[in-house]
Structure 1
Amino acid sequence: MNATHQTFDVAVIGGGLVGKSAALALTQGGLRVALLAQPCAPLPAGAVFDARVYAFSRSSQALFERLRVWQAVDAARLTPVYDMRVFGDAAAELHFSAYQASVAQLAWIAESSLVERSLDAALKFQPNLTWLDTRAQTLDVNADAAVIGLANGRVIQADLAVGADGAHSWVRAQIGSQVVRRDYRQTGVVANFRAQRPHGETAYQWFREGEIIALLPLPDQHVSLVWSAEAQHAEALLKLAPEQLAAEVERATQGQHGALECVTAAQGFPLALQTVDRLVAPRVALVGDAAHLIHPLAGQGVNLGLRDVAALVDVITQKEAFRDLGDMVLLRRYERGRREDIQKLVVATDGLQRVFAFPGMLARAVRNTGMALVGGQPLLKRWLVASALG
């Protein structure tokens, strides 16, 4: 190795919840870690909530507790989900209950930035972590190390590079992992509202003519919207004034929460299905959106990425003493361990999106009948809840 280069055990390229969780878990495991990411941006002046929220599963909560991050999150800004109600095209309805599934809650709803700021705070106290607020520009892998050239002119070396740099991953491109992408031609429109009626810690979801509308519970009688809308419709929704958007959401959700008042500016992000042909290469592993992208209808995208982190950390901490961190035998254990979980969610979310997007009366009758059949099978519903909890 070049002695002039700063050396690390692991370099995590990319931040967000997944990348920062990976960096924190690995450095808490005693490894010297470089994190190439930016600190979480503060909320805009006057903002009540972050527009982007996540439904964290039991597996994600367990990882954050293991990292001692969950305990530091402001509990007043966390909302448990005790029930979930899903409505089809007609009168069909599915009800999932934490009580009936014998679990404490189905999920926790939290703002992305709320958890990320707790990760940032924890990372700042890690003596084995070096935070580099810059970008990677080159990645060269040799027998001894992954050599990473940075935008600030420095060069670092690591036994293992972890690509956590999102759906358009630069790291993935460097290792030649092939991407299969299918654009849903939909946009996820997100915004938060103050509701007239209490949400009762219940998440709601409506399937409407190929579009999916979800309202997730937030503290103090607020709700968070995730509207998976056709691209042109989404463009129109994003152009509405706050009071017009609130009125449109009230109409689309049949006044479930009474009058709504928009408290955050609406944002949109394109929806796509994306898979890759390999998650690893010599001295490189992919996690999170760099490794997979799924439809948000089940709210499982971030949970899937956090399960990548947990699996990678487990493989590394349980490795044989003689193995290098970049050993392909080790990295293939991680890849094999993740394939089934990823494939299962890809098939489930893509299948549901296709079923509810298919037009026509016959398709509507079939899916509503299917919802009714699932609703009448308590054991099947418990299995679905268990799968979602991770």
Structure 2
Amino acid sequence: MTAHLQTFDVAVIGGGLVGKTAALALTQGGLRVALLAQPCAPLPAGAAFDARVYALSASSQALLERLRVWQALDTSRLGPVYDMRVYGDAHAELHFSAFQASVPQLAWIAESSLIERALDAALRFQPNLEWIDTRAQGLDVKPDGATIGLANGKVLEADLVVGADGAHSWVRAQIGSKVIRRDYKQTGVVANFKAEKPHGETAYQWFKDGEIVALLPLPDGHVSLVWSARTEHADELLALDPAQLAAEVERVTGGQVGALDCVTPAKGFPLALQTVDRLVAPRVALVGDAAHLIHPLAGQGMNLGLRDVAALADTVAGKEAFRDLGDTVLLRRYERARREDIRALMVATDGLQKLFSVPGPVARVLRNTGMAFVGAQPLLKRWLVSAALG
């Protein structure tokens, strides 16, 4: 006879930031939750900062505050963004200011591991949550519940399964949600540096020859690089030693923050646009990268995933007493709540990536004229800031 774990209200499959935030939000909402995930791995010995950082918007901060995670973060490792300067390829420039937009900050730059460790600590204090450190390998959805077979031979049952298992989601494959993926033929190269000059809590972004280079402010005079480079160029960047990479970043950024000293070795990850034909199925909902992938040029991918979590938690909290957690009618409310936001960001980021990838003088004139126009419209700039804040 197959050994069974106890029945849960929700099983969250996937243990990144989005999955752990979903598990915390749902268990704090009074539900019994199983989380199929592992705790965050410690930073490598001697590492100053995690290579992977996120620009968290006001909506993400609000969700983490609601879950009492934000208050537990080490503020000395958070970098506020008060200004953002975007440079085109013909001396065009856009300046976004938190002061002009009447907001406390445009974003917070935070290390992935910083947030994940705080989530892990919060999850350990949840009496209605059970960590399950094994892989799911079978999903059987029935009218009265979902059964998940585990790699250790055990089985668990849940009313709702949340797929937060990334771009190559196993959960998504089980429900037959169709994926449309377009490879940008680019790799995101990330690394951290100690900067010679103060960054002034300013995020910088350069559009150069179809590639995008961003320097994001970190505490104590450090900056984080996100370079969206053509894959063959990215391979060359990743092959450089730390000093050579620092010199190349100094060159392409015009020494904006002075000499650079690489403190976190470079890593790369492939960039793609990915959409799915549905976010839900009976007893299943997708969140985060399992539901969508966008270009990182606006730094909104993680914020989009956390807004998925907020919407799902709100949808579940607002369900009628007679309705089951896995009811398709309920889950479609979540899907409808997310479609517009996801589509708008996909269109915006994909459109910008295409616009700055088109070669030739005519395209250059058009895009830089557009940047100059936006820069001269205070109301439009404020609307763009509002949209980015979520």
Q: State the TM-score, normalizing by the size of structure 2.
A: 0.99
Q: Secondary structure at the match of 1:264?
A: strand
Deviation string, structure 1 residues 66-115 (Cα, Å, up to 9, x no partner):
00000000000011100000000011000000000000000000100000
Tell me the residue number matched to 1:331. Answer: 331
Tell me the residue number matched to 1:17. Answer: 17
Aligned length: 389
1: CA distance between counterparts of 2:275 and 2:3? 38
Tell me the residue number matched to 1:187. Answer: 187
Tell me the residue number matched to 1:140. Answer: 140
Tell me the residue number matched to 2:166. Answer: 166
2:156 is equivalent to residue 156 of structure 1: yes
Tell me the residue number matched to 1:356. Answer: 356
Q: Secondary structure at the match of 2:96?
A: strand
Tell me the residue number matched to 1:387. Answer: 387
- The AA in structure 2 aligned to 1:146 is A
- The AA in structure 2 aligned to 1:181 is R
Tell me the residue number matched to 1:63. Answer: 63
Tell me the residue number matched to 1:8. Answer: 8
Tell me the residue number matched to 1:215. Answer: 215
Q: Secondary structure at the match of 1:147?
A: strand
2: CA distance between counterparts of 1:176 and 1:27? 27
Tell me the residue number matched to 1:43. Answer: 43
Q: Secondary structure at the match of 2:158?
A: strand
Asked if the contact 2:169–2:290 (Cα under 8 Å) also holds between the matched residues in 1, the reply is: yes
- The AA in structure 2 aligned to 1:264 is T
Post-superposition shift, 1:4? 4.2
2: CA distance between counterparts of 1:327 and 1:199? 50
Q: Identity rate of aligned residues, in percent?
A: 80
Tell me the residue number matched to 1:299. Answer: 299
Post-superposition shift, 1:5? 4.3
Tell me the residue number matched to 2:115. Answer: 115
Tell me the residue number matched to 1:225. Answer: 225
Post-superposition shift, 1:203? 0.1
Q: Secondary structure at the match of 1:130?
A: strand
2: CA distance between counterparts of 1:15 and 1:361? 46
Q: Secondary structure at the match of 2:265?
A: coil
Tell me the residue number matched to 1:340. Answer: 340
- The AA in structure 2 aligned to 1:49 is F
- The AA in structure 2 aligned to 1:135 is R
Tell me the residue number matched to 2:313. Answer: 313
2: CA distance between counterparts of 1:133 and 1:102? 45
- The AA in structure 2 aligned to 1:203 is A
- The AA in structure 1 aligned to 2:280 is V
Asked if the contact 2:3–2:155 (Cα under 8 Å) also holds between the matched residues in 1, the reply is: no
2: CA distance between counterparts of 1:240 and 1:50? 19
2: CA distance between counterparts of 1:134 and 1:301? 27
Post-superposition shift, 1:213? 0.2
- The AA in structure 2 aligned to 1:53 is V
RMSD over aligned Cα atoms: 0.8
2: CA distance between counterparts of 1:222 and 1:134? 37
Q: Secondary structure at the match of 1:217?
A: strand
2:101 is equivalent to residue 98 of structure 1: no
Tell me the residue number matched to 2:78. Answer: 78
Deviation string, structure 1 residues 317-376 (Cα, Å, up to 9, x no partner):
010000000000000000001000000000000000000000001000000000000000
CA 1:4–1:165: 2 relative to 1, 3 Å: closer
- The AA in structure 1 aligned to 2:92 is A
1: CA distance between counterparts of 2:227 and 2:133? 33
Any unmatched runs of 5+ in structure 1?
none
2: CA distance between counterparts of 1:193 and 1:349? 26
Q: Secondary structure at the match of 1:46?
A: coil
- The AA in structure 2 aligned to 1:50 is D
Any unmatched runs of 5+ in structure 2?
none
Tell me the residue number matched to 1:322. Answer: 322
CA 1:128–1:374: 2 relative to 1, 3 Å: same
- The AA in structure 1 aligned to 2:362 is L
Tell me the residue number matched to 1:273. Answer: 273
Tell me the residue number matched to 1:366. Answer: 366
Post-superposition shift, 1:6? 1.8
